Chain A
């Protein structure tokens, strides 16, 4: 190997030809080796210091422990005297279902089937005036692996959340790779915010007779279906992304989709949807 100037080595000639002062092939290789060593030392050192190499307490899902862990974990949050409610859900991978139908004495009821304890949510309840706020956050990403490599079977994770029909609700859902089925036709909404990742999402408001609500939906890679009652006074503003857009039962004007008989003078359900890569289907039923 003669990577210096004047050699017959084309790769070395290219490096020399870059005309960077004093740069030779030998120096390039030595720099790369140095960068590699320093990067790995810092990278793995950071992991070691941050506890990335310490085995986590939770077991990795295996065919042997899955069945045991898959038994449902049920939680009910009482309504107490709250006059309104809010729920914030941070969900990673699996299937999420949100609907009405909680028992009258409860604000919300959650039934969780998780393949690993890492997928179980952390619950927190707070009261803001007369509003009671429930947060469900997946703890999976606190797992002590330096690279998360969940096997598909460890994504067996189903959350079934039922909300009270008795009080107005604000719903916030942040989903990662999971599929979401949000059926809120029986719930009285004040607002809905949904951020989706790679999973498919259905937001079904058919049969909704609650008060006016606003909505903000950010669609990621997965497909989104948004269904509203045709008799509602709804206007959807859709910021188009990369995916396809289909609509049925709605009138389109530029980026706005409105239900039949839409009247701006009446209370309007204003929905803003930002499309990512996935396709979007809007339906008025």
Chain B
């Protein structure tokens, strides 16, 4: 494989096509092309410039990760954050431990809190129904010592469950923000750069 500008640009284009919008990709390729032009004007060879930039595959990987993290930051969605996390894994195997495991634990925690909220809500709704049945004398069992008290306690349970679910939603948003910052820090540490695509 020849280590020249055309080959570098070709590999970058191939790796980034489909991930980045066309305009953004063209800008990036133009930057690298310019980098080669300036370097050659200063008397450096294609091979030297290639080595100074690193392999185009690594460069493409870093650009892709930074783009996906930026995309996840700009457009918050489960899909975008998962894509960003998965892309970050490609930067190094140790990210399996430092990114994937904490991410899975976080998602699991949010899921468990959601589940608890749903269970409390449905428990409350069931309690309300049972209280009404008990008041009407239609229930086979007397669950509540006092159906009136049971009705109010059940309403409290239902709203508590709803509050837990709403709280979980905002907790999810907070952790999303923390996750993005952590991914950016992770990329900075690995690539030694702070620039964005």
Q: A residues within 8 Å of B by Cβ?
A: 1, 8-9, 11, 28-29, 32-33, 35-37, 39-40, 42-44, 46-47, 50, 52, 92, 141, 143-148, 176-177, 197-198, 220-221
Cβ-neighbour of A176 out of B141, B149, B152 (below 8 A): B141
Interface of B, helix, strand, loop or mixed by DSSP: helix
* List of B residues within 8 angstroms of A146 by Cβ: 144-146, 149-150, 153
Q: B residues within 8 Å of A by Cβ?
A: 76, 140-146, 148-156, 159-160, 162-163, 166, 169-170, 173
User: Could you name 6 residue pairs across A and B whose Cβ atoms are closer than 8 Å?
Assistant: A32-B162, A39-B155, A40-B152, A40-B153, A46-B152, A146-B153
B107 CB, nearest partner CB in chain A, Å: 18
Question: In whole angstroms, how far apart are the Cα atoms of A1 and B177 in the complex?
Answer: 12
Say yes or no: A32-B141 contact (C-beta < 8 A), given A43-B149, A43-B153, A46-B148. no
| A40 to B, closest residue via Cβ | B156
B155 CB, nearest partner CB in chain A, Å: 4
The 10 closest A-B pairs by CB, nearest first: A43-B152, A197-B140, A39-B156, A43-B153, A46-B149, A40-B156, A39-B155, A36-B159, A42-B152, A47-B149
Question: In whole angstroms, how far apart are the Cα atoms of A197 and B148 in the complex?
Answer: 23
A24 CB, nearest partner CB in chain B, Å: 13
Q: Given A9-B173, A32-B163, A148-B142, 15 other A-B contacts at CB below 8 A?
A: A11-B166, A32-B162, A33-B163, A35-B155, A35-B156, A39-B159, A40-B152, A40-B156, A43-B155, A47-B149, A52-B145, A52-B149, A141-B142, A146-B150, A176-B140
B156 contacts A36, C-beta separation under 8 Å: yes
Cβ-neighbour of A147 out of B145, B160, B166, B169 (below 8 A): B145
A264 CB, nearest partner CB in chain B, Å: 35
A251 CB, nearest partner CB in chain B, Å: 33
A145 contacts B156, C-beta separation under 8 Å: no
Question: In whole angstroms, how far apart are the Cα atoms of A43 and B145 in the complex?
Answer: 11
A43 contacts B166, C-beta separation under 8 Å: no
A220 contacts B162, C-beta separation under 8 Å: no
A90 CB, nearest partner CB in chain B, Å: 12
